[in-house]
Amino acid sequence: MQMILVVDVGNTTIRFGLFYGDEIIVMWKIMTKIQKTSDEYTVIINSWFTQHNIDKTGVKGVVISSVVPNVMHSFNNAIRKTFGLEPLIVKAGIKTGISINVDDPREVGPDRIVDAAAAYNLYGGPSVVLDFGTATTYDLINEKGAFISAVTSPGIQISADALGTRTAMLPNIEIVKPPTILAKNTISSMQAGLVYGYVGQVEYIVKRIKKEANYPNATVVATGGYAQVIQEETDVIDIYDPLLTLKGMKIIWDKNNYAK
Fold of the CATH domain 99-248: Nucleotidyltransferase; domain 5 (3.30.420)
Q: Per-domain residue ranges for the chain?
A: 3-89, 99-248
Residues 207, 208, 214: CA angle, nearest 5 degrees? 90
Q: Which CATH architecture has domain 3-89?
A: 2-Layer Sandwich (3.30)
Equal CATH topology for 3-89 and 99-248: yes
List, in sequence order, every residue forming a beta bridge with 136; answer none if it has no partner: 132, 153
pLDDT tens string, the chain, 260 residues long: the values are 789 999 999 988 999 999 999 899 999 999 987 788 999 999 999 999 999 999 999 999 999 999 999 999 999 999 999 999 999 999 878 999 999 999 998 889 999 999 999 999 999 989 999 999 889 999 999 999 999 999 999 999 888 888 877 776 677 788 888 889 999 998 899 899 999 999 999 999 999 999 999 999 999 999 998 899 999 999 999 999 999 999 999 999 999 975 44
At residue 131, the pLDDT reads 96
At residue 257, the pLDDT reads 72
At residue 259, the pLDDT reads 44
> Which residue among 111, 131, 139, 254 is the active-site one?
111
In this structure, the chain runs to a length of 260
| Interatomic CA distance for residues 254 and 169, integer angstroms | 52
**Nearest C-alpha neighbor of 140 from the set 152, 158, 155:** 152
At residue 62, the pLDDT reads 96
Q: Quick check: is 235 catalytic?
A: no
At residue 163, the pLDDT reads 80
